[in-house]
Amino acid sequence: MPLSEHEQRMLEQMERALYAEDPKFATALEGSGLRTYTRRRVYQAVAGFLVGIALLMAGMVAKQIWVSVVGFLVMLGCAVLAVTGWRKAPKPGEQTSAAGSPAARRQGRQRRSMMDRIEQRWQRRRDEQGH
């Protein structure tokens, strides 16, 4: 069952208070969640990339084209996993859920506030021109 907006705000306030009060403890708590998972996924992708290089070289030495192609595909797939995992890793202090994360809400607020500013400027220009 999802939290109401009021409950989400309260939870965010509690999290911010925890980070302000004891950032070391808060960082230790968040290390067991999504951030650790994505970091581990990036490390696994880097290891897979190295395996792909080894397959590519082994295929070239053994003159087996298909082994080299498989090695290249492994390298490509692992590179994609590493990059996407690195980008998706939450920053310290962020919630792990995408919909309820402060960054997602802040981005939505920024978009709305940007649109509000544009609308205000438009209204000012119209008022200055006498329309």
pLDDT range class, residue 51, cuts 50, 70, 90: very high
And the tokens for 56?
């590519």
Lowest average pLDDT, out of 5-19, 22-36, 45-59, 99-113, goes to 99-113
pLDDT range class, residue 53, cuts 50, 70, 90: very high
The single-letter code of the amino acid at 103 is: A
Cβ-contact 98, 104 below 8 angstroms: yes
* Residue whose entry in the numeric block shows the structure tokens 């053994």: 62
Cβ-contact 74, 52 below 8 angstroms: yes
Q: What is the Rg, in whole angstroms, of the alpha carbon atoms belonging to the chain?
A: 24
**Assessment of whether the complete model's pTM goes beyond 0.75:** no
Per-residue pLDDT, 98: 44
Cβ-contact 81, 48 below 8 angstroms: yes
pLDDT over 70 percentage in the chain = 66
The segment with the largest mean pLDDT, out of 18-32, 76-90, 115-129, is 115-129
Is 96's pLDDT higher than 80? no
Name the nearest CA neighbour of 49 among 17, 18, 86: 86
DSSP 96: S
